[in-house]
Amino acid sequence: MALDDRKARVLRAVVEEHIETGLPVGSRVIARRYSLGVSPATIRNEMADLEDTGYLDKPHTSSGRVPSDRGYRLYVDELMPERGLSQDEIASLELLFRSKAKDVVSFLKETVKVVSETTNYLGFVLGPDSGSVTYTAVHLLPASVGKALLVIVTDVGFVETCLIEVPPMSTEEIRRVSDMLTRYLANVELSKVPDRANHMLHEEASRYSEIVDQVVEFLRSVQLMPEGERLFVGGAVNLLGQPEFRDVDRVKDLLLAIESEGLIQYLLERESRSGNPAISIGGENESDAVKDLSMVYGRFFAGRSEGKIGLLGPKRMDYPKSVAIVRFFERRLSLFLSQLQ
């Protein structure tokens, strides 16, 4: 289904013009603004052909053309120009990595902010999964009477804390328990944790079964942490500027879908389109709320764990720029997180 050269150039022109203006594109504009060296009439013929083959749509019988999903697909797969980032752009993104990293979570949140602000689309990061998680540290710290603070660090650098109830104990005793926990449970795969915990109880900690139970329970709950808690989303407001969201109800549906129904997780899960970064366009994902939206996303790695970073924008988003930015972060985040460990 390869298009001849001129058809391809017309399609590309229509897509780019439409992306820029948001309006249906007429033959005159193409003839005038894109130097194809032919008259509007010829363009019209080409556009009619492109419509027949499904690359263009017409909102109504007599107005300009608009790219169909298939048209966008061809555009991003074959027609769109490669675009790198300028020195300035890179410099401004690099600022993020210079700032003091407090902890992984706030760093990822900050990343979302930067991504969404520089693109003016909705940005998201799905934190590294903990598929094969082990805990590099498990500590118990004295808090107030009857309470202790459990601190664990996952192998991808997430710090999780939890207050647990403990019988009254001296600081020294808490420390002993903490040491035991570290000895038995740190760097142990989750599946082996109950086993190790039993060992621990039998050998030296029978008195502390209450504590150990809570610890095991918490380790499990972190492991099972729903994707929602690993997902950071920001810049939804940016979508409101887009003409396809003049309608409040649509905005509401979209925000609800993202906030309550885990739309983004759903989309990420649903298909792992290959392509790097992966791009999914409008109606390709049959969810109604996103039929005017496209998603560009890539993967990054923290150790063996994989995270995702991406953008959600209008179907007529700036694909070359979005791709460049996602690519940048794929590489840069992996680098940064590996240094952190």
The residue among 108, 134, 156 whose CA lies nearest residue 303 is 156
Taking the alpha carbons of 21, 27, 32, 36 in that order, is the dihedral positive or negative?
A: positive
- Distance in angstroms (rounded) separating the CA atoms of residues 20 and 88: 23
Shortest Cβ 256–its own copies spacing (Å): 6
When CB distances are held under 5 to 8 angstroms depending on the partner's kind, the choice from its own copies, DNA, none that residue 166 binds is none
Stretch that binds its own copies, among 86-94, 124-132, 234-242, 311-319 (CB under 8 A): 234-242
Out of 36, 85, 151, 289, the only residue in the binding site for its own copies (CB under 8 A) is 151
Out of 19, 27, 125, 133, the only residue in the binding site for DNA (CB under 7 A) is 27
Q: Which H or E element spans position 158?
A: none
Stretch that binds DNA, among 46-54, 138-146, 163-171, 177-185 (CB under 7 A): 46-54
Q: How far is CA 176 from CA 140, 143, 165, 213, in A?
A: 9, 15, 16, 17
Task: Check binding of 168 to its own copies (CB under 8 A).
Answer: no
Taking the alpha carbons of 86, 91, 92, 94 in that order, is the dihedral positive or negative?
A: positive
Task: Check binding of 144 to its own copies (CB under 8 A).
Answer: yes
- Distance in angstroms (rounded) separating the CA atoms of residues 243 and 317: 12
Return the number of the residue (250 or 321) whose C-beta is nearest DNA.
250
- Distance in angstroms (rounded) separating the CA atoms of residues 140 and 182: 9
Task: Check binding of 64 to DNA (CB under 7 A).
Answer: yes
Return the number of the residue (42 or 136) whose C-beta is nearest DNA.
42
Out of 36, 38, 85, 143, the only residue in the binding site for its own copies (CB under 8 A) is 143
Out of 34, 97, 245, 336, the only residue in the binding site for its own copies (CB under 8 A) is 245
Return the number of the residue (74 or 164) whose C-beta is nearest its own copies.
164
- Distance in angstroms (rounded) separating the CA atoms of residues 217 and 198: 13
Kindly report the number of other CB atoms within 10 A of residue 62's CB atom. Answer: 6
When CB distances are held under 5 to 8 angstroms depending on the partner's kind, the choice from DNA, its own copies, none that residue 61 binds is DNA
| Edge-to-edge strand list for the sheet holding 159-165 | 135-142, 147-154, 159-165
Two tokens, residue 50: 């492109």
Contact mark string toward its own copies, 74..113, x via CB under 8 A: ---------------------------xxx----------
When CB distances are held under 5 to 8 angstroms depending on the partner's kind, the choice from DNA, its own copies, none that residue 39 binds is DNA
Q: Please answer whether residues 126 and 233 qualify as being in contact, where contact means their C-beta atoms are separated by less than 8 angstroms.
A: no
Shortest Cβ 24–DNA spacing (Å): 6
Return the number of the residue (38 or 162) whose C-beta is nearest its own copies.
162
When CB distances are held under 5 to 8 angstroms depending on the partner's kind, the choice from its own copies, DNA, none that residue 38 binds is DNA
Stretch that binds DNA, among 41-49, 133-141, 142-150, 194-202 (CB under 7 A): 41-49
Burial per residue of 149-176, b for 16 or more beta-carbon CB atoms within 10 angstroms, e otherwise: ebebbbbbbbebebebebeebeeeebeb
- H helix runs in 120-208, sequence order: 171-185, 193-203
Task: Check binding of 230 to its own copies (CB under 8 A).
Answer: no
Two tokens, residue 111: 């990343």
When CB distances are held under 5 to 8 angstroms depending on the partner's kind, the choice from its own copies, DNA, none that residue 35 binds is none
Site residues for its own copies per CB under 8 A: 101-103, 136-137, 139, 141-144, 149, 151, 153, 157, 159, 161-163, 236-237, 240-241, 245-248, 251-252, 255-256, 259, 340-341
